[in-house]
Amino acid sequence: MSIFINQIIKASKYIEISKIELFSKYFSDSELYKLEDSFYLESKKDGISLTFDLDYSLYAIHLYSENYESYSLFRGDIPKEVNLGMDRFEILKILESYCYTSGGDGQEISNWIKFKLEFCDIHFQFDNLNNVNLITLFNFSCL
């Protein structure tokens, strides 16, 4: 697991997330938004957002490509040496040994692939050219 993602997962166990160095790096100018059944923290300039359950436990990490939903490109480490510049076929080649599901029609519903890794699920969403525009990590088994 990349160091960055591991730090976020460990840090999410603390309620006072604003005091953690990692959160200060990416989210110092961000507000924690309360949604109906979760909390949401985003940094559009760093290409990352986090979703927390109501008890502040980390639910999902979202990593964005350049200009997707007005985000900048996420430039941190991503597990398994994948990155936001890859296409569907590169992702499949790198993660071919993991179980996956896929779907989408490329029109109304974006094409996607979800893999089950050792420590979490990783979901890739693709644009109409089959390039990754969003990576979501969730179902963290190490929490």
The predicted pLDDT at position 37 comes to 92
Give, in degrees to the nearest 5, the angle at Cα 87 between 110 and 96: 100
pLDDT for 71-127, tens place per residue? 999 998 888 989 998 999 999 999 999 989 999 876 778 899 999 998 889 999 999
The answer to whether the Cα torsion of 12, 18, 20, 22 is positive or negative is: positive
In this structure, are strands 100-103 and 58-64 parallel, antiparallel, or unpaired? unpaired
Predicted confidence (pLDDT) per residue in 35-80, tens digit: 899 989 899 999 999 998 888 788 899 999 999 999 999 998 888 9
- Which segments within the chain are labelled E, that is strand? 33-34, 39-43, 48-52, 58-64, 100-103, 112-116, 121-126, 132-138
Q: How many CB atoms lie within 10 A of CB 3?
A: 9
pLDDT band at 140 (very low <50, low <70, confident <90, very high): confident
> What are the domain boundaries of the chain?
3-138
Pick 142 or 93 by higher pLDDT: 93
Q: What is the pTM of this model?
A: 0.84
Q: How far apart are CA 78 and CA 41, in angstroms?
A: 19
